[in-house]
Amino acid sequence: MGADRFKGFVSYGFYKGGFTTTKPAPFESPKDYMYGSGSMAACDNCSSLSCTKCPRCEKPHCFDCFWNKLHRC
């Protein structure tokens, strides 16, 4: 959740919980970004079919490279 692109998503939680009164601008949810269109491409590391897109470097990665090998950009 530390990626800049998810700031609106985090802000929405504070707004919805009543901690702030400023409604955040529309945003793309982490699920829609990481697993939506554009996530099914060739992995940036090994060329296997990817299943997720990194919210920081915005590159597609397969399950093994992103989760098992703990992708850090």
pTM over 0.85: no
> What is residue 1's predicted lDDT score, i.e. its pLDDT?
58
Would residue 53 count as lying in a domain? yes
**Residues 2, 5, 11, 12, CA torsion sign:** negative
Q: Whole domain around residue 57: which residue ranges? A: 38-73
Would residue 10 count as lying in a domain? no
Would residue 33 count as lying in a domain? no
pLDDT in tens, 15-63: 999 999 999 999 989 999 889 877 888 999 998 999 999 999 989 999 9
pLDDT in tens, 46-57: 989 999 999 999
Name all contacts of 70-73 with Cβ < 8 Å and 24+ positions apart. 71/45
pLDDT band at residue 14 using 50, 70 and 90 as cut-offs: very high
Would residue 42 count as lying in a domain? yes
Phi, psi of 52, deg, nearest 5: -150, 160
Q: In sequence order, what DSSP letters do the residues of 34-51 get, joined into one string?
A: HHSTT-SSB-TTT-SBP-
CA–CA dist 46, 68 (Å, integer): 13
